[in-house]
């Protein structure tokens, strides 16, 4: 069997949970003897594939084209939606919370998401909560639904606390860790405020993209005069991240929403 796994084109430059899920799914399928190819963006040629598995309907522009192209080739589509209704996040971050209204862009996004979901033969949400979100937001979808929880790489159980603390001048079990791309959705700003108020050391590990530059600058400004140190680290590789989990007292994931917090699962395996 030959399967094409498709994800957003920038999955290497902008890593995230969806990229981890797609990459590791491809790797594990290969161990089962399935010929699995992973492609970012819209593949020009689907000849020779038996099935297309698409990841992420929150970045819908590419997903809908991937789904429609697969259908035009007569191929069955499996979809890992990685979906959560963004209404609460948009309301919480709107400058005037009392006047939040659904826009034409919001309605268009939801229509494209329904089109993509409707093209799938099988939906694979990664939690019962995500499945409930899909049923509530998009009632009447024809596809079968099977919840497949996110797995966690065993490497995260073998971190070296002392190595991480020595490299960054930290005390083992003496700081809070937040692993994730630095952006408004992940709500690092709220976590910085809480740690400032409590006088707790904080480590923020994750990519800083150009699109979130204003938000990151706001985070850095708020952290500058915190009573306890707040460290801004880049996106960490698996080994360094495992060390960070082993060293942290607790992992905090204050996002406005997550389908399942993959980094918190990794942290739990790492002992924080």
The per-residue b/e assignment along 76-96, b for 16 or more CB within 10 angstroms, e otherwise, is ebbbbbbbbebeebeeebeee
Q: How confident is the model at residue 101 (pLDDT cuts 50, 70, 90)?
A: confident
Tokens representing residue 215 in the block? 């938000």
pLDDT tens per residue, range 39-96 = 999 988 999 999 999 999 998 999 999 999 999 999 999 999 999 999 888 888 877 6
pLDDT of 97 over the 70 cut? no
Together in a domain, 122 and 159: no
Do 138 and 163 have their domain in common? no
Q: Is 8 in the same domain as 141?
A: yes
49 and 138 housed in the same domain: yes
In the listed set 110, 145, 180, which residue is the last one of a domain according to the structure? Answer: 145
Q: Which of 92, 116, 145 is the last residue in one of the domains?
A: 145
What per-residue confidence (pLDDT) applies to 44?
80
Clarify whether residues 26 and 101 are in a common domain: yes
* Residue 132 and residue 236 in one domain: no
**Domain check: are 204 and 72 in the same one?**
no
Range of lowest pLDDT (70-74, 173-177, 258-262): 258-262
Tell which residue, 109, 69, 86, 83, has the closest CA to residue 18. 83
Look at residue 95 in the predicted model and tell me its pLDDT: 72
Same domain as 137, residue 13: yes
Q: Work out whether the CA dihedral 221, 12, 255, 137 comes out positive or negative.
A: positive
35-40 vs 77-80, strand pairing mode: unpaired
Residues 70 and 189 in one domain: no
* Residue 173: domain span: 154-270
What is the model's pTM? 0.90
> Who's near 60: CB < 8 A, 6+ residues apart?
109, 112, 113, 116
Spatial neighbors of 90 by CB under 8 A, at least 6 apart, are 100, 106
Query: What pLDDT is recorded for position 98?
Result: 59
CATH at 21: 3.40.50.2000
Give the pLDDT confidence of 233-250 residue by residue, as tens digits. 999 999 999 999 999 999
Same-domain pairing of 7 and 131: yes
Last residue of a domain, one of 117, 145, 173: 145
Side-chain-side CA neighbours of 17 within 13 Å: the count stands at: 24
Which of 57, 50, 98, 58 lies closest to 74, judged by CA? 50
Residues 91 and 17 in one domain: yes
User: Are 136 and 170 in the same domain?
Assistant: no
- List the single range of 16-25, 99-108, 114-123, 236-245 with lowest mean pLDDT: 99-108
Q: What percent of the chain has pLDDT over 90?
A: 88
- Average pLDDT for 167-179: 97
- β-pair partners for 48: none
How confident is the prediction for the chain on average, in pLDDT? 95
Q: Number of structural domains, the chain?
A: 2
Contact by Cβ (8 Å): 43, 4: yes
């Amino acid at each position: 069997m030959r399967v094409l796994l498709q994800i957003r084109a920038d999955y290497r430059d902008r890593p995230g949970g969806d990229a981890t899920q797609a990459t590791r799914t491809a790797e594990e399928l290969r161990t089962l003897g399935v010929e699995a190819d992973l492609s970012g963006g819209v593949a020009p040629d689907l000849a020779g594939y038996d099935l297309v598995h698409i990841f992420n309907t929150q970045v819908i522009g590419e997903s809908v084209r991937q789904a429609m192209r697969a259908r035009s080739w007569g191929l069955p589509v499996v979809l890992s939606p990685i979906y959560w209704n963004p209404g609460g996040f948009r309301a919480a971050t709107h400058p005037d919370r009392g006047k939040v209204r659904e826009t034409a862009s919001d309605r268009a996004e939801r229509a494209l998401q329904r089109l993509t979901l409707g093209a799938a033969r099988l939906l694979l949400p990664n939690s019962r909560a995500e499945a409930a979100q899909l049923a509530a937001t998009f009632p009447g979808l024809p596809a079968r639904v099977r919840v497949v929880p996110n797995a966690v790489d065993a490497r995260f159980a073998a971190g070296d606390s002392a190595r991480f603390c020595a490299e960054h001048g930290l005390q083992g079990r003496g700081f809070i860790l937040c692993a994730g791309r630095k952006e408004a959705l992940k709500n690092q700003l709220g976590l910085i405020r809480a740690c400032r108020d409590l006088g707790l050391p904080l480590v923020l590990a994750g990519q800083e993209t150009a699109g979130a530059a204003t938000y990151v600058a706001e985070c850095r400004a708020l952290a500058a005069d915190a009573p306890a140190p707040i460290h801004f680290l880049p996106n960490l590789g698996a080994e360094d991240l495992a060390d960070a989990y082993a060293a942290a007292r607790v992992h905090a994931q204050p996002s406005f929403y997550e389908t399942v917090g993959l980094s918190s699962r990794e942290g739990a395996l790492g002992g924080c």
